[in-house]
Amino acid sequence: QLQLQESGPGLVKPSETLSLTCTVSGGSISTSTYYWAWIRQPPGKGLEWIGNIYYSGSTFYNQSLKSRVTISVDTSKNQFSLKVISVTAADTAVYYCARRVRTERTLDIWGQGTMVTVSS
């Protein structure tokens, strides 16, 4: 059964770079059926799609975050990653990675999420 697991620092200083990795187990990331996505949820607030990547490296980003976000993939490690530069307190959130079904445009399997706090 496919599982996703986020990992990375739980605390990042303002103006620095947030870096997270999602490890996919129980299946290959190199499949034409899916994209691999990042979503975040600030404390007490709703979900926000950050972007997603195809195993070939093609990326799509939320326009509101595009200037600060980079998503990359490492197929040899079955991982994909998120970087957010110049973070502020507004980037404090639970960050989820998820599998996005290309044809259905839906997020069918999610990681457990990791809390990232931006604070000095």
- The binding site for other proteins (CB under 8 A) comprises 35, 37, 46-49, 52, 60, 62-63, 96, 100-101, 104-108, 110-113
Q: How far is the CB of 14 from other proteins (least distance, A)?
A: 25
Q: Give 76 or 103: the residue with its C-beta nearer to other proteins.
A: 103
Q: How far is the CB of 102 from other proteins (least distance, A)?
A: 9
Quote the tokens at residue 52.
């997603």
Q: Give 14 or 57: the residue with its C-beta nearer to other proteins.
A: 57
Q: Give 55 or 110: the residue with its C-beta nearer to other proteins.
A: 110
Q: How far is the CB of 91 from other proteins (least distance, A)?
A: 17
51: CB partners within 8 A, 6+ apart: 37, 38, 59, 60, 61, 62, 65, 66, 69, 71
Q: How far is the CB of 60 from other proteins (least distance, A)?
A: 4
Q: Give 84 or 107: the residue with its C-beta nearer to other proteins.
A: 107
Q: Which of 79, 78, 83 is closest to 67 using CA atoms? A: 83
Half-sphere exposure of 107 (CA within 13 A, CB side): 16
- Rounded distance between C-alpha atoms, residue 25 and residue 60, angstroms: 23
Pairing, β 18-25 against β 79-84: antiparallel
